[in-house]
């Protein structure tokens, strides 16, 4: 709640991103904040909102009816002096997130489009909430949020009991519940107003400014945005305390809120800053500003021990261990044109993107040229001699637009004994990590199927959180025979199940194996039949041959041929090779 309050005191901080599992009252906290602000306005932005709806657009009704150019304000104008709330902000298009964050940082919106030049104030507290299990924001967008906080449900029985008690009391009598907390809410609202008024008088001494610069440099954050956000947050915290000057305590609070998410340069980096790391950075900053070093924090190790415990709890079964070296890959595409969720992988018909042809409906936006061409032959019968084009409602034409979609990328990984030998699986998992990083950037959903011994497992059901996939990949159990047919059928099961849930999301199955099916004389035949069944579900299939050594049997190549899949050797999984080969997948 502190992060929300500080942004209410100083909207220039740039907003708050609240990350947490489902059912942790993220939305409740945001709505509660709106009730405490002087204007008390809460504007919610739906995930499916378009850029026109957010920033505003040309008022077509006035243009066609009155012949005048008029601007119709969007949600940013409505949120002025209030809270703009974006639930599931990680599912919003990246370019729309950029628009929101730019407006939040500048306090104004400038529109230059459709023959309209317009500017208006847009000072608001931007709050985004998200569940990391549904996918992360890109590090570049994380950096644009001023502050982030992670929330989780308490495991304390007393606290959980009180939460349920209060919720039930609210449901029984909402008015009485609100009345019971009216005085404390009014006191908090008054405190926010008082801190806002005091903010301009808060002094940021040069030694504290140097402390901020030293701490930000210690965590190796990119650019200068972190320094500015920490400075603004420290000043807001001082004003919240009623102080006239920023102190080291204010800087520490600000750093805890503003820096953890800025350390995340890679989608698989764990966000967060350990308290001990921040303590050390603060002590080092004392030297940078020439002050005596304070006593080290005497608090004990919260883990109660001197080392990192092994969380895996593995028995005698061997595990894949750490993935091998990863590398940059280029685009793997599903052929054709789909209609799936917006992303950056395969071609798709979308509500945004470039217009490729004219449509009779306006469902995907106005096609201006098509509208003019439809109206032009009718000008004589409408009595036009001179002047502007005379338009009617039936002249309006929409646009078929083409953009990119995200796909379901299923990794079927052979974890049998033949793959585990000679560290081959480390190279394979390194390749999968490379492809997972690519899937993260292209906003795909991913799933991981592992097959070994006597069965195949869905190690990770379809998810947008690819960092979870990396962790599951590191814990793969290895060894035993190669039930290749079961692995392919399990991948097919994932395809069918996800299609029932999301019919428009197309699937790309990447099979990483040496092709050595074991389990009887007909194991190879069963594997080829399973591959054909998988391909029959309109899933694009790529077989990555992981066989190594001087003598090669070529079984993976035969598997790919039997189902019309694209075939690549593991060593060819480079950026240029993948880009050239994947576009021909059938």
What is the DSSP-derived secondary structure letter of residue 137?
Answer: P
pLDDT at 245 exceeding the cut of 70: yes
What is the rounded average pLDDT of the residues 432-456? 82
At residue 214, the pLDDT reads 92
Residue-wise pLDDT tens digits, 11-35: 888 889 988 877 888 888 888 877 7
Number of alpha carbons in the 13 Å side-chain half-sphere of residue 352: 17
Task: Label residue 61 exposed, middle or buried (CB < 10 Å: 0-12, 13-18, 19+).
Answer: exposed
- Most trustworthy range by pLDDT among 130-144, 199-213, 318-332: 199-213
Query: What CATH homologous superfamily does 202-289 map to?
Result: Magnesium chelatase subunit I, C-Terminal domain (1.10.8.80)
Query: Is the Cβ–Cβ distance between 390 and 382 less than 8 Å?
Result: yes
Task: Label residue 335 exposed, middle or buried (CB < 10 Å: 0-12, 13-18, 19+).
Answer: middle
Residue-wise pLDDT tens digits, 389-407: 788 888 888 877 777 888 8
* Domains 1-154 and 407-582 agree in fold: yes
pLDDT at 172 exceeding the cut of 80: yes
Predicted model pTM: 0.60
At residue 269, the pLDDT reads 59
pLDDT at 576 exceeding the cut of 50: no
CATH of 1-154, one of 3.30.565.10, 1.25.60.10, 1.10.540.10, 3.40.50.300: 3.40.50.300
The sign of the torsion formed by the CA atoms of 339, 343, 344, 350 equals positive
What percent of the chain stands above pLDDT 90?
20
Residue-wise pLDDT tens digits, 507-563: 999 898 888 888 767 888 999 999 999 999 988 898 988 887 776 788 999 999 999
* Rg from Cα positions in the chain: 29
What is the rounded average pLDDT of the residues 138-163? 84
Catalytic residue among 225, 344, 347, 499: 225
Lowest mean pLDDT among 182-191, 215-224, 389-398, 506-515: 389-398
DSSP 277-309: HHHHHHHHHHHHTT-PPPPPP-PPPTTSSSS--
Domain edges within the chain = 1-154, 202-289, 349-404, 407-582
pLDDT at 55 exceeding the cut of 90: no
pLDDT at 343 exceeding the cut of 90: no
At residue 305, the pLDDT reads 38
Higher pLDDT, 444 or 171: 171
At residue 584, the pLDDT reads 42
- Report the C-alpha gap between 59 and 373 in whole angstroms: 21
Residue-wise pLDDT tens digits, 271-298: 678 888 888 888 888 877 765 444 444 4
Average pLDDT, the chain: 79
Query: Is the Cβ–Cβ distance between 16 and 147 less than 8 Å?
Result: yes
pLDDT at 241 exceeding the cut of 90: yes
The class (CATH top level) of 407-582 is alpha beta
pLDDT at 371 exceeding the cut of 90: no
Residue-wise pLDDT tens digits, 65-115: 555 667 778 888 888 888 888 888 877 776 777 788 788 778 888 877 656
pLDDT at 302 exceeding the cut of 50: no
- Report the C-alpha gap between 454 and 431 in whole angstroms: 25
pLDDT at 359 exceeding the cut of 80: no
Q: Is 263 a catalytic residue?
A: no
């Amino acid at each position: 709640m502190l992060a929300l309050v500080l942004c209410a005191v100083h909207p220039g901080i740039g907003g708050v991103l609240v990350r947490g599992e489902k059912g942790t009252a993220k939305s409740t906290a945001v709505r509660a904040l709106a009730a405490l602000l002087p204007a008390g306005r809460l504007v919610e932005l739906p995930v499916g909102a378009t850029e026109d709806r957010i920033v505003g657009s040309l008022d077509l009704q006035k243009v066609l009816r009155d012949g005048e150019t008029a601007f119709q304000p969007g949600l940013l104008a409505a949120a002025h002096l209030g809270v703009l709330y974006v639930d599931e902000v990680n599912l919003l298009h990246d370019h729309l997130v950029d628009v929101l964050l730019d407006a939040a940082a500048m306090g104004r919106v400038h529109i230059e489009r459709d023959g309209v030049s317009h500017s208006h104030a847009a000072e608001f507290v931007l709050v985004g909430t998200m569940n990391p299990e549904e996918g992360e924001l890109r590090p570049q967008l994380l950096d644009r949020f001023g502050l982030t906080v992670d929330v989780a449900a308490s495991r304390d029985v007393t606290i959980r009991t009180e939460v349920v008690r209060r919720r039930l009391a609210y449901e029984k009598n909402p008015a009485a519940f609100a009345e019971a907390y009216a005085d404390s809410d009014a006191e908090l609202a008054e405190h926010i107003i008082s801190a806002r008024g005091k903010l301009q008088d808060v002094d940021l001494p040069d030694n504290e400014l140097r402390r901020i610069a030293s701490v930000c440099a210690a965590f190796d954050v990119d650019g200068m945005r972190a320094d500015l956000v920490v400075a603004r947050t420290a000043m807001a915290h001082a004003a919240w305390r009623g102080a006239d000057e920023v102190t080291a305590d204010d800087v520490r609070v600000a750093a805890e809120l503003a820096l953890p998410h800025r350390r995340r340069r890679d989608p698989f980096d764990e966000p967060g800053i350990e308290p001990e790391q921040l303590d050390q950075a603060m002590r080092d900053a004392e030297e940078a500003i020439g002050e005596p070093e304070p006593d080290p924090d005497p608090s004990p190790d919260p883990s109660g021990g001197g080392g990192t415990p092994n969380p895996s709890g593995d028995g005698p079964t061997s595990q894949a261990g750490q993935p091998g070296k990863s590398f940059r890959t280029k685009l793997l595409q599903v052929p054709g044109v789909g209609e799936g969720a917006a992303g950056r992988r395969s071609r798709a018909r979308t509500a945004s993107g470039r217009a490729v042809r004219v449509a009779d409906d306006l469902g995907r936006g106005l096609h201006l040229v098509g509208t003019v061409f439809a109206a032009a032959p009718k000008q004589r019968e409408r009595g036009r001699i001179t002047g502007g084009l005379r338009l009617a409602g039936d002249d309006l034409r929409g646009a078929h637009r083409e953009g990119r979609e995200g796909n379901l990328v299923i990794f079927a990984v052979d974890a049998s004994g033949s793959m585990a030998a000679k560290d081959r699986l480390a190279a394979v998992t390194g390749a999968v990590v490379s492809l997972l990083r690519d899937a993260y950037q292209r906003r795909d959903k991913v799933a991981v199927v592992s097959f070994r011994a006597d069965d195949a497992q869905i190690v990770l059901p379809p998810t947008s959180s690819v960092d979870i996939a990396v962790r599951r990949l590191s814990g793969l159990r290895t060894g035993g025979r190669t039930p290749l047919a079961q692995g392919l059928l399990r991948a097919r099961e994932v395809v069918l199940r996800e299609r029932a849930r999301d019919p428009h999301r197309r699937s790309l199955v990447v099979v990483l194996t040496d092709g050595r099916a074991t389990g009887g004389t007909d194991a190879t035949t069963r594997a080829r039949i399973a591959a054909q069944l998988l391909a029959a579900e309109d899933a694009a299939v790529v077989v990555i041959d992981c066989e190594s050594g001087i003598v090669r049997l070529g079984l993976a190549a035969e598997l790919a041929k039997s189902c019309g899949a694209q075939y690549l050797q593991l060593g060819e999984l480079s950026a240029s090779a993948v880009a050239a080969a994947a576009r021909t997948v059938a």
